[in-house]
Amino acid sequence: MDYHCLREIEGKQAHDPLFIEKMNYNNKSSSSSSSRCVCVLGPVIVGAGPSGLAAAACLKEKGVPSTILERSNCIASLWQLKTYDRLRLHLPKQFCELPFMGFPSDFPTYPSKRQFVEYLEGYANKFGINPCFNETVDQAEFDSTLGFWRVKSTATRGGKKTTTEYICRWLIAATGENAEAVMPEIEGTAEFGGSIKHTSLYKNGEEYRGKKVLVVGCGNSGMEVCLDLCNQNAKPSLVVRDTVHVLPREMLGKSTFGLSMWLLKWLPIRLVDRLLLIVSWLLLGDTARFGLDRPCLGPLQLKNLSGKTPVLDVGTLAKIKCGDIKVCPAIKRLKRHTVEFVNGRTEKFDAIILATGYKSNVPYWLKEGDMFSKKDGLPRKSFPNGWRGENGLYAVGFTKRGLLGASMDAKRIADDIESCWKAEAKHV
């Protein structure tokens, strides 16, 4: 146990009867094999994805230890367990690096899923990050009487359930924007009879060979799943419910994202958007002809305002143009192996894949109402001000700006906690 943390708790115990009563109760419970109470060293980080690892590494560089609680059995569980086989980073590797460690020089510009996981495992090893796996945080709440966060988690090992309460001075939410799959309610789902699964359960198109498959959602995942299905000789159709910006992954020999970032140094965002759309039209043509209408706002403006990411095309649009992938309107309802669309047309399908994205799960476990919105589970303050809350609460990985945004938050959090850490150590 940290000396400074121990001394602070001992001081509270000496003067706070309520604290003594609560701690005595926890200590009695911890004597059994099913419950325990732990005072942790430094902050507790909830989530061992890239954001949680970045926060832990930045803290360690400042000399501040941390404890990571991860509900799964591995780091980056979204990448390892819930993504399709053909997935690659959508942005060049230099824009996806975590603090203090770049990608290996022999990795391609767009690393594969396996390569990215290898990078994260190497990152954890370099900084000696060892998360507590299979620890599901059920509740985290600030106890104003104690002046600490109380984080309750449940772990099941060997068929036995153990409840642990972690007491900490700082709490970092690193579960991110993609913690839970979004499953839309579609009328007639129970009647359909065929396979309906979210992309979090999709690995590759081999099981769909020769089948008619409807992919719901036209983001990067939906587009890539359609392409993968085509390559496995399936017959995919794509539901496009909204407007979407489709951009080539590379322009003028440069990555579209990298070119955008460079242009924004010299030009206003509206002009950069116009340039991107002109080049996209020259390279891809008029996407509206194929059922992919563009939003009124440019791709960068839309990303800034709503967080909606443009699709970076890796070959799907060519399949749409030649008719290998059909574009469909929104679904009205499902019937027995049949889909009825909002335009009245019906068509038979063998399976449906929901590329409907993910959402934050923070409101389910974090009991506070100021920093995070209960509606979407994201910080109420927009980037770059959403990383810090009250009473030692922080957020990393909720910027809607990918790994670059997470790295920026991680550095800010480490700087902030370091100042408190040193000040408290000096005071003690």
pLDDT at 5: 45
How many C-beta atoms surround the C-beta of residue 57 within 10 A?
A: 25
The arithmetic mean of pLDDT across residues 148-168, rounded, is 91
Please give the pLDDT value at position 425. 61
Q: For the chain, how big is the Rg over CA atoms in Å?
A: 24
Q: Is it the case that residue 428 has pLDDT exceeding 60?
A: no
410 in Cβ contact with 100 (< 8 Å): no
How does pLDDT run across 311-350, given as a tens digit for each residue? 999 999 999 999 999 999 999 999 999 999 999 999 999 9
Phi-psi region of 164 (alpha: psi -120 to 50; beta: other; left: phi over 0): beta
Q: Inform me whether the pLDDT recorded for 32 exceeds 60.
A: no
3-179+360-427 has CATH 3.50.50.60 classification? yes
pLDDT in tens, 11-23: 444 334 444 445 4
The architecture of the domain spanning 182-358 is 3-Layer(bba) Sandwich (3.50)
The residues near 413 (Cβ < 8 Å, ≥ 6 apart) are: 55, 58, 59, 172, 387, 388, 394, 396
**Do residues 391 and 142 lie in contact, with contact meaning Cβ atoms separated by under 8 Å?**
yes
Q: How confident is the model at residue 34 (pLDDT cuts 50, 70, 90)?
A: confident
- The model scores a pTM over 0.85: yes
Structure tokens of 282? 């020259």
The amino acid sitting at 306 is S
Query: Cβ contacts of residue 252 below 8 Å, gap of 6+?
Result: 259, 279
- Residue 223, burial from CB neighbour count under 10 angstroms (0-12, 13-18, 19+): buried
Distance CA 206, CA 229 (A): 8
CB atoms within 10 A of CB 359: 16
Q: Are 238 and 325 spatial neighbours (Cβ–Cβ below 8 Å)? A: yes
Which pLDDT score is estimated for 10? Answer: 40
Q: What is the 3-state secondary structure (H, E, C) of 313-335?
A: ECCHHHHHHCCCCEEECCEEEEE
Is 193:337 a contact under the CB 8 Å cutoff?
Answer: yes
pLDDT value, residue 383: 87
- Mean pLDDT is lowest, of 35-49, 154-168, 170-184, for 154-168
When pLDDT is averaged across residues 31-55 and rounded to a whole number, the result is 88
Q: In angstroms, how far apart are the furthest CA atoms of the chain?
A: 76
Contact (Cβ atoms closer than 8 angstroms) between residue 48 and residue 75: yes
Closest CA to 357 of 226, 247, 219, 227: 219
For 187-203, b/e burial (b = at least 16 CB within 10 A) is eeeeebebebebbbebe
Report the Cα–Cα distance between both ends of the chain, in Å, rounded.
15
Residues of the chain with CATH 3.50.50.60: 3-179+360-427, 182-358
pLDDT value at residue 1: 40
User: Hey, how many other C-beta atoms are within 10 angstroms of the C-beta on 168?
Assistant: 23
